[in-house]
Every structure is written in structure tokens, then in C-alpha cells.
Amino acid sequence: MAYMASETKRPMLLSLFRGLLRRCPSCGIGKSFKGYVKVADSCSHCGEPLGHIRADDIPPYFTILIVGHMIVPSILYLEQTSPPEFWVHMAVWPTLTLLLTLLLLPRVKGVIVNLLWVLRIRGDET
């Protein structure tokens, strides 16, 4: 395959952990993002090219999946054990959903980008 720069083995778990920290999958020191969720063209430390990796809709999909599985059971549990006033639901759950989403999205994207790097998937295959 022409896009495989080297045949060296890339460590899966270490790279995924580095993605959780939004770090470069190769060195773990440099940042792999140049904004909130914009992937940097290359690592700021080792120069590993990252800008060609396209995660597309995978990070938002997994973020929605994770946040949904945290919020919905919490709502049901609270409603079953000690149902609060309706305004409490309207104040707490949308706010908590927004905060969790904003917190998790860049981390999930870091994991996905690093997973694609480990698997040598660029995202532009035809």
C-alpha cells in the first residue's frame, strides 16, 4: 500500500490513551489538535503527519452514544427514586448533557484519530 510510510508496529492501547489526552499517537508529547477539535497538520513535537487523518462523523456518534448512556439512566433513576419538580429536570439535564458533550467530544475525537493512525487508515480511501 502506497500510503504506508513505514512497516513499524504501532502500539494500540498506548496510542488510544494518548488520544484521550489529545496527544500525538506517535510520541505522546506533542499536541495532535490545533483547536478544539481541529486536527493539527503534524505533531508539534515529532512532526508526525496527522492532518490527512479524517475521522468524519465517528467522534460525534460515539460522544452521543456515551453521553446518552450516562444521562438517560440518570434521569430514569432520579425519577424512580425521588422525582424532582419539572423545572429541576429542565435545568439540570440539558446543562449536564451540554457540558458532558463539550468535555467528551475532543477526547473521543483524539481516541478515534489515534485509532485511525494505528490502523493506518487515512479516511480518504476510495
Kindly tell me which of 27 and 58 has the beta carbon lying closer to Zn ion: 27
- Residue 101 CB, shortest distance to Zn ion, in Å, is 27
Kindly tell me which of 28 and 59 has the beta carbon lying closer to Zn ion: 28
Q: Which residue, chain included where needed, has cell 424532582?
A: 84
Kindly tell me which of 15 and 63 has the beta carbon lying closer to Zn ion: 15
Which residues are at the interface with Zn ion (CB under 5 A)? 24, 26-27, 30, 43, 45-46, 48
Q: CB–CB of 4/120 below 8 Å? A: yes
- Residue 18 CB, shortest distance to Zn ion, in Å, is 9
| Cα torsion 37, 120, 4, 30: sign | positive
Q: Is 27 exposed, middle or buried (0-12, 13-18, 19+ CB in 10 A)?
A: middle
- Residue 50 CB, shortest distance to Zn ion, in Å, is 8
Kindly tell me which of 50 and 112 has the beta carbon lying closer to Zn ion: 50
The three cell numbers of residue 51 are 492532518
CB crowding 72-96: b at 16 or more within 10 Å, else e:
eeeeeeeeeeeeeeeeeeeeeeeee
- Residue 23 CB, shortest distance to Zn ion, in Å, is 8
